[in-house]
Amino acid sequence: MKLFVDTWGWLALAEPLDRKHAAALRCYQEYSRSGRVVTSNYVLDETITLLFLRLRFDAAYDFSKAVLESSFIAVEAVTEARFRKAFELRRRFADKPNISFTDLTSIAIMTELKVTDILTADAHFAHVGLGFQLLPS
């Protein structure tokens, strides 16, 4: 099993004072021991932007650099095909307008790679009915 890390997951991991930090860290460490961590370039775009808004520069830079240089985190690109799939999902989930386009790209990637476990607090991943397991539970 692989773990997809959403923006919320990265932020919880980066901020030791976050109330879910310890639980997120335990979950992340469990998956990272075997190199089964996946994220996307769109998720990292959101994450890095928010880290530099929330943390001291050095802390945001060091955390971002560690993620980008990790040998066990697979950063999946939102290719044109995945972008188009996400756009199809926007139509499919028209009744769920609060799902961001970045999250739709994550859903497209997770579906393609058959990843069901996701480090997130975003409940809409559960609401789409695709069998995603939100962690930490």
- pLDDT tens for the chain, 137 residues long, are 899 999 999 999 999 999 999 999 999 999 998 879 999 999 999 999 999 999 999 999 999 999 999 989 999 999 999 999 999 999 999 999 999 999 999 999 999 999 999 999 999 999 999 999 999 98
Token readout for 48 is 């890095």
What is this structure's pTM? Answer: 0.95
What is the dihedral sign for C-alpha 111, 117, 120, 123? positive
Fold of 3-77+114-135: Rossmann fold (3.40.50)
- Nearest-angstrom CA–CA distance, 39 and 73: 7
Across the beta sheet with 133-135, what order do the strands follow?
A: 73-76, 37-40, 3-5, 117-119, 133-135
